[in-house]
Amino acid sequence: MQSLISSEGEIWEQQRRYVLKQLRDFGFGKSSMESVIIEEVNDLSRRLVAFNSEPVEGIKNKLSLAVVNSLWNIVAGTRYNQDNPKLRQIAYQVTGAFEEAAKSSGLLATVKWIKYVMPELSGYNAVRRAMNDIVEFVSETIKQHQATYQEDSPRDFIDAYLAEIKSTTDPQSSFYGKAAGIDTTSTTLDWAILYLAKQPEILKKLQKEIDEITGNARQVSFSDRPKMPYTLAVINELLRISIVPFGAPHRVIFDTEFKGVFFPKDTFIFINMHYMHHDPKLWEDPDSFRPERFLSMDEKTVLKIEYLNPFLIGRRQCPGESLAKDTVFLFLTNLVQRFDIMKDPSSPEPTTEPAIQFTITTQPYKVIFNERNLV
């Protein structure tokens, strides 16, 4: 099966158009989706409270399980206990696979033949093992949906996709016998925890804005977003800092010369997103975490900066942008509302130097979550 990233042409057009439509129907900004995400936030919060202010290590794994669970609930209508062995195996194996692939300095993503020459060293075998487990996991879920499918009442994204497959008789269609996948935003949230622990003044400003909006009488909801400029600025800065280093590939469809550089037909072009978001010509002090760069002088309006493109560029822009932003917003605000986040004084100072990965990931660190007194 070709994904939205690896496909092109008519297949890509069909997949993207349909995915956008169904995600709108089953997700973006709806109260049903909000309740699904909040359920996972609350579960994660209970697990953090159980640490009883002891240092938490490997927060990204915990974030990954919670975020994957919320998105899988939207896609497949199923919620797993975060202690589910299969869910944990897949989440951790995928992380491990990308760590292995990163050891080849990204060659697996850019040099297509490397997997044949160095399948183990390039990380290809590790990625393949993880993908096989995911395919098995997803296939079993699809079989369960097929057994209980009712044409007139789709329950979730998979049911809607099965309906499209059922109505398609053209074997050349990209929907013929295929299903879709999901992605996570745990890396962005992982960076959020790290920066808030290192820069408590930002955490306090976030909490102040949240407290003023909610009165500490309820949790943060989608409807609060227009009244939270500082929070949105923090999220924009997180997206600038934590974005994947390279965008999805674009293919040159005919011989092209651009600014004196010749690109032969079928050349693959990757956008250097990391450079764009750290170019000192575009961003003042680009390596510093400063949400204020996205705010007006009075800090009441969020500025739209054209150089911020965390969800890629052009027609290859990520179709899950709204879903990702919604998930980050609800997780970040509701965790910050409930907890003070601090560095572990018994551990070395955590660094913001990224680990070498396909995404810009954090290096290992420990933090402490102290439950706030919201009375």
- pLDDT tens track for 201-210: 999 999 999 9
Widest CA span in the chain: 66
Burial of 30 (0-12, 13-18, 19+ CB in 10 A): middle
pTM to 2 decimal places = 0.79
Instruction: Report the range out of 162-166, 250-254, 329-333 with the highest average pLDDT.
Output: 329-333
Q: Structural domain boundaries of the chain?
A: 9-371
- pLDDT tens track for 136-163: 777 777 787 788 877 777 776 677 767 7
In this predicted structure, what is the pLDDT of residue 314?
64
In this predicted structure, what is the pLDDT of residue 72?
79
CB 140 within 8 A of CB 76: no
Tell which CATH architecture fits domain 9-371.
Answer: Orthogonal Bundle (1.10)
> Could you give the angle at the alpha carbon of 202 between the alpha carbons of 187 and 43, nearest 5°?
50
CB 240 within 8 A of CB 310: yes
Residues forming a β-bridge with 120: none
In this predicted structure, what is the pLDDT of residue 33?
82
Q: With CA atoms as reference, report the closest residue to 339 among 79, 106, 88, 46.
A: 46
Q: With CA atoms as reference, report the closest residue to 41 among 327, 343, 373, 323.
A: 327
CB 222 within 8 A of CB 278: no
Q: What is the DSSP string of 306-353?
A: TT--TT-SGGG--TTHHHHHHHHHHHHHHHHHHEEEEE-TTSPPPP-P
Q: First and final CA of the chain: distance in angstroms?
A: 52
Inform me whether the pLDDT recorded for 176 exceeds 60.
no
Buried b (16+ CB within 10 A) or exposed e, 258-288: eeeeeeeeeeeeebebbebbeeeeebeebee
Q: Which residues contact 204 (CB under 8 A, 6 or more apart)?
A: none
Inform me whether the pLDDT recorded for 54 exceeds 80.
yes
Mean pLDDT, residues 110-121: 71
Q: How many residues does the chain have?
A: 375
How far is the CA of 272 from the CAs of 162, 207, 249, in angstroms?
Answer: 36, 34, 11
Mean pLDDT, residues 302-324: 78
Q: Which residue has the tokens 């102040």?
A: 208
CB 335 within 8 A of CB 62: no
What are the binding residues?
Answer: 318
Average pLDDT, whole number, for the chain?
Answer: 80
Q: With CA atoms as reference, report the closest residue to 80 among 16, 272, 121, 88.
A: 88
How far is the CA of 373 from the CAs of 119, 124, 197, 337, 339, in angstroms?
Answer: 53, 48, 18, 10, 9
Structure tokens at 133: 């487990």
Tell me the residue type at 186: S
In this predicted structure, what is the pLDDT of residue 321?
76
What are the binding residues for heme?
Answer: 318
Mean pLDDT, residues 42-62: 94
Q: Which residue has the tokens 């990954």?
A: 64
